[in-house]
Structure 1
Amino acid sequence: MKLPVPFLAVLLALALAAAACGSSTESGEPGSSTPPTEPAPPDPTDPAPPGPIPFDPGPGLVRPLSVGARESSSTNPTIAGDAVSRFGIDLFTASRAAAAGENVTVSPASVAIALAMLEPGASGEAQTQLRELLGIRDPVEFHAAVNALEQSLESRVAEAYTDEDEPGEIVARIANAAYLQEGYPFEADYLDAIGANYGPVLNEVDFAPDPDAVAHEINDFVAEATNDRIVDILADGQVKPETVLALVNALYLKASWLETFPEDATTDQDFTRLDGSTVAVPMMNGGASSSARGDGWVGATKAYVGNLHVQFILPDEGRFGEVADDLSGVFIEYDANRTAGALLGLPRFETRYASELSATLQSMGLTAPYQPGNLLGVANDPQLVVDQVVHHTFVAMDEEGTEAAAATVILATATSGPAEPPVPVVLDRPFLYRIVDDVTGATLFIGQVTDPTA
């Protein structure tokens, strides 16, 4: 069967409140009637001075630019993967706090990549906050590791199913883009830095005359990158005439289960919501790769082809909030208590989530990029500030696999001791989950499902 194509997209938009500049006329020495000496014409053999890259306007609303190229990276991708996963737990915790018990799914990988594209241009307190938020110790190493993480995901090859001879399906795609206001003094070093590690499509635009038209161009880019699973990430009016920069990341994942759920084992079953009401859901029944029991929860892990897995955590009745607020400890406890194999009941579901993340990121300590004078590495303009961070996700799981964007891998050492029996896990009440990349350790998706039918 065809799975709905999942995706994850995040857009980071920065707006500039332009400051008025005074004009001046040239003159000679004060009190002198001698006209100023004309400067000598430039020597074409001299190297170009450092500074903003000159734009070459062309026809059309969006004019592609060519600035550098993404380089191959041999840096260990787990440096970025581990950082993305730590960031992901904090991002999910902050996001669910404002969700009022609704379904929430964020992509730590997508948000982190978009913010990482901003970091080379951050200065002062904004640079400090971004590095702390993303866990950046060595900026050069970190950006190279993100590059390696993207290349690792995009190079996956499906293994064979455990129960069939034919291979499964694995598609992982990451697309980055930057939309730059024509004539704005972007720093060449900044554009070179993001070009080397993120290889974004660089586009020159004029936001002011018709901001909505630029938003539609960005929407088209995201829709194409996500196979039309995210089609309108920006609404009319979100891009403003004073916007000068939009950084965009789109992440797409389609992966088959390593061991599929038998379709004839799917049955209708009640799912109990947080408020105690019930709803009938199609419950898929099959095997899990591992399971574990901890304080107030049971959990299971199910593998995909391509060295990915999803981890489910089912809190005990009445303890959902308590468990969700301590996911770092829960995941550590899971790895310590895991046992091989388990029976897994998973409701077939499809979920979407959309949020403007500025308030969430500010609650996590990222405030300086929203204040003037902190993005001087992007452009020599103290008025440049972040305006919005827009984030959308889509995840669908069925008998064949998952369509989504983002992945996380948590690596842990199993403790020694007597083997525990497998823990049957039936997700018939609100549960938590994360999709992890086994190779890099990056959490691609993390979320909660409080109603599979919502």
Structure 2
Amino acid sequence: MTSPYAKKRIKSTKETSEHTASKAALSLLLLLGSVLTMAKSVNNSSSSAGDGKFSLELFGHLAKSEAGGNLVFSPSSIRTGLALAYLGSEGTTAEELKQGLALEGADKNEVGQRFAQLLAKGQTKTKEDEDGVQFNYANRLYVAERFRLAQAYQQLAAEGFDAAAEKVNFAQGSKVAQKINSWVEGQTHNQIKDLISADSLDAETVAILINAIYFKADWVHSFADYKTDLQDFVRHNGARVKVNTMYQSDFFRYGELSSLKAKALEMPYKGTDIVFLIILPLEEQGLPELEQKLSGHDLNVISSQLTRQMVEIQLPKFKFEFDVSLKPALKELGIEAPFGPQANFSSLLQTPDPLKITEVKHKALIEVDENGTTASAATAVKFSLESAFMGEVQQFTADHPFFFAIKDAQSTYFLGHVNQP
């Protein structure tokens, strides 16, 4: 690929991949909508190791099912939703959620405290600061009029997740869906619309929990629009296609990872410690092998191996969506009891009813361009009543499939790979 120095501005062409997951009937729905529009710092969390473990293990299972397509998801959103489910669980159900979410060593109060740290910077009203950074993180719980949350659960949800509860009549499906979707749109700056449909709500629905994340920030080192040009990208099947490719040369944290047969680059965002980490295989078709090896690595360890160097970057612009049912992947992680007839969520309601998770669905979108990154995600957890410069310029040409992460030292907000920008 040659360095693009075209003086004319190339109009962006974007390919959107959309995967539609099947719908399942529900009686109780815990619904989380998460939006990330670029990046903003979150307070330190003592569960960074657990977050990283859960994130990469889940990524490994999803990557196998999407070996030839694009993938993006929000581990932070998914983990938040399932952590809220954990707060209402007991027995084997609680143990499986605790282990699967890598929450070992913490009781329910401590889990609430960990997620309170994650939420801390999202409790103020979203507004632009001098760096153009925006951040919002919010939760809300809608409960059927005939049910009452257990007092202990409601206190944990309020203190750890700032999740206020509102009574609704789910039999009025259209009205309630409009109410919930309107709240989600407001929290996510209209990034997620129609998160739930009226026909997914009925008189048997018990509750819906919404989690919304919104980030926005620009690159510290932005790409000049006039340097964007059409260049080759080698897809997973070896086919070469022309894609809009950005170019710049500057100092970045960079490193070669011999054990992974890859090179890595971190691109910082303005006003935040969150970075966009790219891990690029040395071989054009090396992504599957790389992702298999990543399951045993810590992204923070990889980040610590990078040093400040002069790097010439060529990176494709890309935008795509991903929609998936997480139930199979979570079962592979050992979270099985919450989905079965022996599920125990007896701490969720004041009068315990036999509940089980019937579905966990996730949808995410990401866009990378000259200014920064836009990404959004939504997770639905459904419950049912059971009856340094070295004098050398490094080359980083992302012209073949690569892995990416949006992360800081404590949390992994998004993971994915690009096979066909």
TM-score when scaled to structure 1?
Answer: 0.73
Aligned partner of 2:69 in structure 1 is 102
Select 1:374's aligned residue among 344, 350, 357: 344
Provide Cα deviations, 1:212-261, integer angstroms capped at 9, x if missing partner. 54334333222222222221333454345422122221111111111111
Matched AA of 1:279: V
Aligned partner of 1:292 in structure 2 is 255
Select 1:79's aligned residue among 46, 56, 59: 46
User: What secondary structure sits across from 2:335 in the alignment?
Assistant: coil
Aligned partner of 2:60 in structure 1 is 93
1:109-120 to structure 2, matched below 5 A, reads 109-120=76-87
- State the 1:333 CA deviation: 6.7
Select 2:153's aligned residue among 163, 179, 190: 190
RMSD (Å) for aligned C-alpha atoms: 3.0
Gaps of 5+ in 1: 5-12, 18-75, 160-166, 407-416
Instruction: Give yes or no for contact 2:308–2:389 (8 Å, CA) kept in 1.
Output: no
Name the CA distance, whole Å, in 1 between partners of 2:154 and 2:25.
15
User: What secondary structure sits across from 1:97 in the alignment?
Assistant: helix
Matched AA of 1:214: V
Moved more, 334-343 or 108-117: 334-343
1:398-417 to structure 2, matched below 5 A, reads 398-405=369-376
Aligned partner of 1:309 in structure 2 is 275
- State the 1:405 CA deviation: 4.7
Aligned partner of 2:407 in structure 1 is 436
Aligned partner of 1:45 in structure 2 is none
1:129 lines up with 2:129 in the alignment: no
1:18-417 to structure 2, matched below 5 A, reads 77-136=44-103, 137-139=105-107, 140-152=109-121, 167-207=130-170, 209-211=171-173, 213-286=175-248, 287=250, 289-294=252-257, 295-305=260-270, 306-315=272-281, 316-327=283-294, 328-329=296-297, 331=299, 334-335=302-303, 337-341=305-309, 342-372=311-341, 373-379=343-349, 380-405=351-376
Structure 1 residues 174 and 191: CA distance shift in structure 2, 3 A = same
User: What secondary structure sits across from 1:344 in the alignment?
Assistant: strand
- State the 1:108 CA deviation: 0.9
Matched AA of 2:56: I
Name the CA distance, whole Å, in 2 between partners of 1:443 and 1:14.
31
Name the CA distance, whole Å, in 2 between partners of 1:111 and 1:329.
20
Instruction: Give yes or no for contact 1:273–1:429 (8 Å, CA) kept in 2.
Output: yes
User: What secondary structure sits across from 2:220 in the alignment?
Assistant: coil
User: What secondary structure sits across from 2:320 in the alignment?
Assistant: strand
Matched AA of 1:145: R
Structure 1 residues 330 and 190: CA distance shift in structure 2, 3 A = closer
User: What secondary structure sits across from 1:146 in the alignment?
Assistant: helix
Moved more, 308-317 or 78-87: 78-87
Structure 1 residues 336 and 80: CA distance shift in structure 2, 3 A = closer
Structure 1 residues 266 and 330: CA distance shift in structure 2, 3 A = farther
Matched AA of 1:103: N
TM-score when scaled to structure 2?
Answer: 0.78
**Alignment coverage as a number of residue pairs:** 365
Name the CA distance, whole Å, in 2 between partners of 1:141 and 1:285.
45
Moved more, 273-282 or 426-435: 273-282
Matched AA of 1:392: K
Matched AA of 1:97: K
Instruction: Give yes or no for contact 1:158–1:168 (8 Å, CA) kept in 2.
Output: yes
Instruction: Give yes or no for contact 1:344–1:424 (8 Å, CA) kept in 2.
Output: yes
User: What secondary structure sits across from 2:49 in the alignment?
Assistant: helix
Aligned partner of 2:3 in structure 1 is none
User: What secondary structure sits across from 1:78 in the alignment?
Assistant: coil
Name the CA distance, whole Å, in 2 between partners of 1:239 and 1:288.
52
User: What secondary structure sits across from 2:207 in the alignment?
Assistant: strand
